[in-house]
Amino acid sequence: MSIQISDLHIAREDLLPAPRELHRELPVGESEAAGIALARVAVQTILRGDDRRLLVIVGPCSIHEPESAMEYATRLRDFSAGVDDALALVMRVYFEKPRTRMGWKGLIYDPDLDGRGNIGEGLRCARQILLECARLGVPAASEILDLVTPQYYAELLAWGAIGARTVESPLHRQMASALSAPVGFKNATNGSVQTAVDAILVAAQPHRFPSVSFDGRAMIVASTGNPHGHLILRGSESGPNYDAASVRRAADALSRAGLPPRLIVDCSHGNSGKDYRRQPEVAASVAGQIESGSFAICGVMLESHLVEGRQAIVDGRKNLRYGQSVTDGCIGWEQTVDVLGGLAEAVRARRRG
């Protein structure tokens, strides 16, 4: 009788389709690909400072229902026409949620919100949503959390993020070095800006690391490095870091590292004290700094949905309020319009002044 020493804690294994199979099933068209490429260029020129508009990553904390996501994308597209002289709007389309303990992990991991973990369907749904955003002409942004799933959808992103919990991870820094979109790195949960600065520098270098090919085989990736990494200030467990003094210190840290002293402020998380209702207050402070002539802040992030607040998942998709977050609380659409309008006016005032 042989002694079993492997797979002791595995209940089952389900095959995923190869990334190429999903790409073939849900292909991106030439016009959509061109729109994504142009959106990336716009983000890059803002990060460099050649475009003095403000980059705004705005949308739901996480996507849990395709219908409300598409309604939000349509509203954002229609609204953007009135502010595109001052703001470059990119929609948050987050599919993966890092959990400190337990909870719903996001659309990719649990598309039915019932704990079954139908990841194959989650990947299909995520790619379909990103394709619909591209067809609407709405650039999309997402946090890159898993090391395998980007092969299924990352080419459809105009912007990506490495979160505060993974910014210290060598594996995520390597992965970011190979991503095609600009990538923002959040300061660590303890508030360390230097951790994110180090991540930007590491991701800009070439790397060799194992990954999964489009055909689903193990392979070695040789990356050239991502030159479009940048800092996101998201506050910390001990308090916010969106005030002028904190922004100045962060910009100085970037300069000392030989990086452009330009950054994004996340109006949620530690900067709002984890209270979604305080996001407009943070955005107003950022707008004030911009209007006063600051060019260090080149972007902001907002958690926003059709309906303000959040709701708990009790019985899968049953009895959920349409257009309301099931993860972090979000400001509603009407308040989002007000906040975006204020940011646009601040950019215009800086231009005049």
* pLDDT attached to residue 353: 80
* pLDDT attached to residue 97: 81
Using alpha carbons, select from 216, 218, 217 the residue that is nearest to residue 22.
Answer: 216
* pLDDT attached to residue 85: 98
Q: Supply 181's token pair.
A: 């979109």
* pLDDT attached to residue 103: 84
Q: Is residue 14 part of a domain?
A: no
Q: Domain limits at 299?
A: 19-352
Q: Is residue 51 part of a domain?
A: yes
pTM of the model: 0.96
Q: Is residue 247 part of a domain?
A: yes
Q: How many residues does the chain have?
A: 353
> What's phi and psi for 120, nearest 5 deg?
-60, -45
pLDDT in tens, 86-133: 999 999 999 998 766 778 899 999 999 998 989 999 999 999 999 999
pLDDT in tens, 140-188: 999 999 999 999 999 999 999 999 999 999 999 999 999 999 999 999 9
Q: Supply 306's token pair.
A: 């059709």
CA separation for the pair 126, 182 (Å, rounded): 20
Q: Supply 53's token pair.
A: 């508009």
CA separation for the pair 249, 347 (Å, rounded): 22
* pLDDT attached to residue 100: 67
Q: Is residue 3 part of a domain?
A: no
- Where the chain has pLDDT below 50, the residues are none
* pLDDT attached to residue 102: 77
Q: Is residue 131 part of a domain?
A: yes
CA separation for the pair 98, 87 (Å, rounded): 29
* pLDDT attached to residue 35: 98
Q: Is residue 5 part of a domain?
A: no
Using alpha carbons, select from 327, 333, 336, 245 the residue that is nearest to residue 294.
Answer: 245
* pLDDT attached to residue 271: 98
Q: What is the dihedral of CA 259, 261, 264, 269, to 10 degrees?
A: 90
* pLDDT attached to residue 98: 77
Q: Is residue 8 part of a domain?
A: no
Using alpha carbons, select from 108, 54, 64 the residue that is nearest to residue 85.
Answer: 54
* pLDDT attached to residue 29: 97
In the block, residue with structure tokens 């994308």 = 73
Domain count along the chain: 1
CA separation for the pair 39, 48 (Å, rounded): 14
For residue 247, give the CATH number of its domain: 3.20.20.70
Radius of gyration of the chain (CA): 20
**Could you tell me if 274 and 240 are in contact, meaning their C-beta atoms sit under 8 angstroms apart?**
no
- The Cα diameter of the chain in Å comes to 82
Helices (H) and strands (E) counted in the chain, each on its own, are: 10, 12
